[in-house]
Amino acid sequence: MAHTTHDFDWATMADRLEREADLFLPVFADTAEWARSVVPDIRRVYDVGSGPGGAALAFARAFPSAEVVAVDGAAPLLDRARERAAREGRAVRTHLGDLPDCLADLEPADLIWISRAVHHVGDQQAVLDALARLLRPGGVLAVVEGGLPTRFLPRDIGIGRPGLQARVDVATEAWFTEMRAALPDTVTTVEDWPALLARAGLVSGAVRGVLINRPAPLDLPTRQILRDTLRQTLDHAGDLLDAEDRATLAALTDPDSPAGILRRPDAFYLSAVTVYTGQAS
């Protein structure tokens, strides 16, 4: 993914991505356990589209003798990855570059992890092809895409019309379609991820589903994740919602409102994350 550094609050973004990575710890752990079961000797791991390296750090913990590399197009986020790893005494290297060009400079790996980054490149199949070529024989590629929309509020939340999240899902899907269509050299493809991995020359492996379930009342970091998600919804898809729904989202993101996501007692977090895997022959 391309990033620009001019006039951007990278520290705030890094904080947000680190909170999300902490929420994803069960997903990283499940992937590490699965990878260990199919690859007997994991010597090099790539976290592609790493941001501040949450997955890279988790894999450095899981595979302490492996070389773990965080790959991203934003130098400030890679700086944060190195700093966080150093605080734990973990060795995480970094590699700066945008997908897919950055992959050409990398050495073969045993495990490649890429989460919600493939869809930001116009030709998704070409990215998977390039990632597959990086695998050593027997190495595995783990791709997080799709999954189920996160649920975090009751149907009727006491403000606005009931069913807000269903309408947000529709608006977000429309925004996502427009985003994909506007990417350079975009290619329309059926997003059958096991088939795309097979087309990249990999043996289609397990499809891992990990449930993240945090019931109410939520801790502050999880509430902050939801606040950030709601703000992003307003930024990306607000124009696709009516005025009442936009006002409801604004109220939910208001830190001082009792109805806001940071304060309300009924907020929960329920998400199903899907990890598609393929193995090099």
pLDDT of residue 207: 97
How far lies 76's CA from each of 105, 157, 166, 180, 209, in Å?
A: 20, 38, 35, 26, 31
> In the chain, which ranges are E strands?
44-48, 67-72, 92-96, 109-115, 135-144, 203-214, 269-279
Question: Which residue in this structure is represented by tokens 């005494």?
Answer: 89
Residue 71, φ and ψ in degrees, nearest 5: -120, 125
Phi, psi of 101 (to 5 degrees): -60, -35
pLDDT computed for residue 3 by the predictor: 45
Q: Where are the domains of the chain?
A: 1-146+191-214+271-281, 153-186+217-265
CATH architecture type of domain 1-146+191-214+271-281: 3-Layer(aba) Sandwich (3.40)
Contact 261, 252 (CB under 8 A): yes
Residues 84 and 13 sit within 8 Å (Cβ to Cβ)? no
Q: Average pLDDT for consecutive 10-residue bins of the chain (281 residues)?
A: 57 95 97 97 98 98 98 98 97 96 97 98 98 99 96 98 98 98 97 98 95 98 98 97 98 97 98 98 95
**Beta strands 203-214 and 269-279, pairing class:** antiparallel
Check: pTM over 0.85? Answer yes or no. Answer: yes
Distance in angstroms between the alpha carbons of the first and the last residue of the chain:
28
pLDDT of amino acid 204: 87
Give residue 183's pLDDT.
Answer: 98
**Does the N-terminal peptide bond of residue 217 adopt cis geometry, omega within 30 degrees of 0?**
yes
